[in-house]
């Protein structure tokens, strides 16, 4: 009798835990999805329906033409193409330099390696606004202002502190015996890096790709400072152009924002498995 009561109480406690857990997950998911729902709703409204009080959640009729008009009012297709070009070139630089520098800090032996790695990590504490003016002066003197070069070239020099740290930590999880065996077979350092280390580093590289793509795709400050020709604008600046000094075309802003978020969502879910694995494995060994 006592055993049956114990089993019944255990089942009841598990049921309560599951119910509370599911209720919490559903509540949080609804909360996080609310901005996307508002964006979708406002993108299908007219200019006047946006500012109606109380809020109209389901516009009647839904104006799907808003997604077409943003391409008629502005060269939005040009903005999307520009963003893909800038993001692709900058992302390649981040992955390339991040992997090379991370491998150097993890495997190669050279003077003051650990000290310089600590110095590199300390630069994370520096806000980007500190180097903003000197970087602009430098790029202006060499004639790079109003070009894509300030948005792309810096990615090839280090690839970002976080990317270097991520790759360095991941390379340290790979057994040294693999490199020793390759060296016995006569492999050079470059061949070990390209044919052994990089194929094993797909999770970390995927993590850099996902985070780097999101950062480059959503970058607003860089294009705002360095670009003045609207035909060179990325999608973030294209969305900003729907806002004037007097008012904002909120329905077009929301429609353009939905279009802008599609590639980010596709990239994230495509690399989700590698992304989670890369984040987990980089913290196994220091």
Predicted local confidence at residue 277, as pLDDT: 60
Query: How far from chain centre, in Å, is Cα 277?
Result: 16
Predicted local confidence at residue 7, as pLDDT: 67
Secondary structure of the chain as H, E, C letters: CHHHHHHHHHHHHHHHHHHHHHHHHHHHHHHHHHHHHHHHHHHCCCCCHHHCCCCCCCCCCCCCCHHHHHHHHCCHHHHHHHHHHHHHHHHHHHHHHHHHHHHHHHCCCCCCHHHHHHHHHHHHHCCHHHHHHHHHHHHHHCCCCCCCHHHHHHHHCCCCHHHHHHHHHHHHHCCHHHHHHHHHCCCCHHHHHHHHHHHHCHHHHHHHHHHHHHHHHCCCHHHHHHCCCHHHCCHHHHHHCCECCCCECHHHHHHHHHHHHHHHHHHHHHCHHHHHHHHHHCCCCC
Predicted local confidence at residue 244, as pLDDT: 65
pTM over 0.85: no
Yes or no: say if 124 and 211 are a contact pair by the CB < 8 Å rule.
no
Closest by Cα among 204, 237, 233 to 220: 237
Mean pLDDT per block of 10 residues along the chain (286 residues) reads: 64 81 88 86 83 80 86 89 94 91 89 89 83 90 92 85 88 85 86 88 86 90 91 90 71 88 85 63 48
| CB neighbour list of residue 257: distance below 8 Å, 6 or more residues apart | 39, 43, 239
Closest by Cα among 170, 162, 172, 171 to 212: 162
What's the CA gap between 273 and 262, in Å, rounded?
Answer: 19
- Residue 62: HSE in the Cβ half-sphere, 13 Å Cα cutoff: 10
What's the CA gap between 50 and 284, in Å, rounded?
Answer: 49
Predicted local confidence at residue 18, as pLDDT: 86
Yes or no: say if 95 and 208 are a contact pair by the CB < 8 Å rule.
yes
């Amino acid at each position: 009798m006592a055993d049956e009561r114990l089993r019944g109480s255990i089942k009841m406690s598990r049921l309560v835990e599951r119910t509370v857990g599911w209720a919490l997950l559903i509540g949080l998911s609804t909360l996080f999805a609310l901005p996307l729902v508002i964006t979708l709703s406002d993108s299908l409204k007219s200019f006047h329906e946006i500012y109606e009080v109380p809020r109209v959640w389901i516009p009647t009729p839904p104006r799907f033409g808003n997604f077409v008009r943003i391409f008629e009012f502005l060269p939005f297709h040009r903005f999307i193409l520009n963003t893909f070009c800038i993001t692709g070139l900058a992302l390649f630089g981040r992955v390339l330099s991040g992997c090379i520098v991370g491998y150097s800090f993890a495997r190669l032996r050279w003077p003051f390696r650990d000290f310089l790695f600590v110095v590199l990590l300390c630069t994370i504490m520096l806000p980007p606004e500190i180097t903003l003016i000197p970087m602009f002066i430098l790029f202006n003197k060499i004639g790079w202002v109003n070009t894509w070069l300030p948005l792309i070239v810096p990615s090839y020099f280090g690839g970002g502190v976080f990317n270097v740290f991520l790759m360095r930590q991941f390379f340290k999880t790979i057994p040294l015996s693999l490199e020793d065996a390759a060296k016995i077979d006569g492999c050079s350092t470059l061949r070990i890096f390209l044919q052994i280390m990089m194929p094993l580093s797909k999770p970390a590289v995927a993590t850099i790709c996902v985070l780097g793509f999101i950062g480059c795709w959503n970058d607003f400050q860089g294009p705002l400072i360095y670009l003045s020709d609207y035909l060179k604008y990325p999608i973030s600046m294209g969305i900003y152009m729907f806002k004037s000094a007097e008012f904002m075309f909120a329905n077009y802003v929301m429609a353009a924002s939905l279009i802008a978020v599609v590639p980010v969502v596709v990239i994230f879910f495509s690399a989700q498995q590698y992304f989670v694995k890369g984040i987990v494995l980089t913290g196994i060994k220091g």
